Amino acid sequence: MSASKSRIDLAVGVFLLLAFATLMVLAISSTNGRLPVIDDNSYQVSARFSNISELRVRAPVKIGGVRVGEIADIQLDPLTFEAVVTLELRRSAGEIPGDSSAGIYTAGLLGDRYVGITPGGDPEPLADGDDMLLTQSAVVLEDLISKFIFGNADNKKSDANDSSEESTP
């Protein structure tokens, strides 16, 4: 009896080790196997948004669809209740004009969020620690659907009220 009990204990132990190893592989792969590194080949700028939807740290920052950096940090400003997003940009992307704008976009219809930068025309480039002043918050699909459904219902009611008021003498 003790031999079969030790086999069961061994099987349970092996199963738990395999489960733990699987969880470790998933954890490492979800972080792309990278640890945060301070790099001399990049610099950070910040941008403020009223709504970032599901934007996450390490999401890409793109110019013209080309990845030029990633989101380094997201904080809430307790005074304005805006999301302060820190963008880490690679110097190899070139000098990005200081009046460039940043917007939050969705990859595909229901994909991940990313920050897209539209370059401006300012001769002064963004520098480490600068703030991007021109921003466009995320468009939330649920809000659009709600406005479409309930907004049209309100318009139909007001149109019906307007037409009934016009027909009465």
What pLDDT is recorded for position 85?
96
What pLDDT is recorded for position 32?
56
Same structural domain, 24 and 103: no
Same structural domain, 7 and 80: no
In total, how many domains does the chain have?
2
- Strand order, beta sheet including 42-49: 131-132, 42-49, 83-90, 66-76, 60-63, 113-118, 101-106, 134-136
Same structural domain, 58 and 106: yes
Question: How many CA atoms lie less than 13 Å away from 4 in the CB half-sphere?
Answer: 1
- 71 lies in some domain: yes
Structural domain including 71 reads 42-144
- 130 lies in some domain: yes
Walk along the chain (169 residues) and give the pLDDT tens digit of each residue: 577 888 888 889 999 999 988 988 887 776 655 544 455 799 999 999 999 988 999 999 999 999 999 999 999 999 999 999 999 999 999 999 999 999 999 887 777 899 999 999 999 999 999 999 999 998 877 788 888 888 765 555 545 455 444 444 4
Same structural domain, 78 and 118: yes
What pLDDT is recorded for position 128?
93
CA distances from 142 to 48, 108, 110 (A): 22, 15, 11
